[in-house]
Amino acid sequence: MTSRIAALDGGTYYHHRTLYEPRYREFFDGVIYTRELGETVLEDYDTLIVSCRTDPSVLRPHREKFRQFLESGRTLVIMGSTGPAEWISGIEWHFTPTNFWWWKEGGSLGLHVTAPDHPLFDHITLADATWHHHGHLIVPEGAVSLIDVGDLGSVLYDDTVTTPGRMIVTTLDPMYHHGSHFMPATTRFLDGFLPWLKGMTPS
C-alpha cells in the first residue's frame, strides 16, 4: 500500500510545472490550490507537501489544520522558503546568506550526510541534494538529521517524535528550480524524493 500524497499549489509557474506536468503527476493524489486549503478536506491523504516557496501569509490562517493533520498521525513535508515558524510550532529555522556561486568559486557548501542508513538514501545521493540553500534548521531532540551543513545544523531532517505524526523538514527548494528548468540536481532530488514519499507505509 502506498501513501496518498497531496501537495500545495501556490499558483506559481514552477509549482505548475512540478505538480501538473507528466513527470511527477502520478505521485500526487491531490493538488490543492493554497488559497483553497481552508475548504479542502485532508482526510483522504496520508502525506501533505507544503511546496517550497509557498507564501506563509496564506498558510498562517491554517495553523490549526496543520496541527490536527499531524495529531492524526499523518506526514507533513515542509519545504524551503515557506516560513514554517509562522504556521507551525517547533520549527527552528535560521537564515543563511545564500551563496549562489559556491560551485564556481571552487568552494563547498559544507553539506554532509548524517544518517547514511536512512531509506531516503536508497533514492537520492548527497549530490542530488547539493545546491545553494537559504537556511539551516535546529533538529528537535529525538529527530534525525539526514543532511547537515557544516556544524551549523540540518538542511533536511525527519521528525517522528515531536508529534504523533511525522514531519520531514528541509530548507531546500527543489520545486522552484526544477519548475524553472534550472539546476538538474533539483530534478534528480525530486526523482528520488517523491518515490520515497510515495513508498512510505501509511500509519
Partner 1 sequence: MGLCLFINPIKGAGDDLPDVGDHAPNIAQIDHYDLSDIDLSPYAALMLPAHLDQRFFGTLTTKIEGFLAQGGTLVFNGHVAWPMLPEFETFVPLESQSLENLIIHRLADHPVFEGVDTQHLTFRRGVAGFYARGYNPPPKGAIALHGVGPDRLPCDWVYHRPEGGRILMHAGNDLWMYAGSKDSTARIVPQLCLWAGGDDHGQGGAS
Q: Which residues bind partner 1 (CB under 8 A)?
A: 9-14, 16-17, 33, 35, 52-57, 80-83, 95, 98, 100-101, 104, 134, 173, 180-182
Q: Are 88 and 126 in contact (CB under 8 A)?
A: no
CB of 141: closest distance to partner 1 in angstroms?
A: 28
Nearer to partner 1, 5 or 50 (CB): 50
Nearer to partner 1, 17 or 67 (CB): 17
CB of 130: closest distance to partner 1 in angstroms?
A: 17
Nearer to partner 1, 3 or 171 (CB): 171
C-alpha distance from residue 77 to each of 71, 125, 163, 167 (Å): 14, 19, 13, 6
CB of 160: closest distance to partner 1 in angstroms?
A: 26
Question: The C-alpha cell of 173 is what?
Answer: 527548494
CB of 125: closest distance to partner 1 in angstroms?
A: 22
Nearer to partner 1, 52 or 185 (CB): 52
Give the sign of the dihedral formed by CA 79, CA 80, CA 83, CA 84.
positive
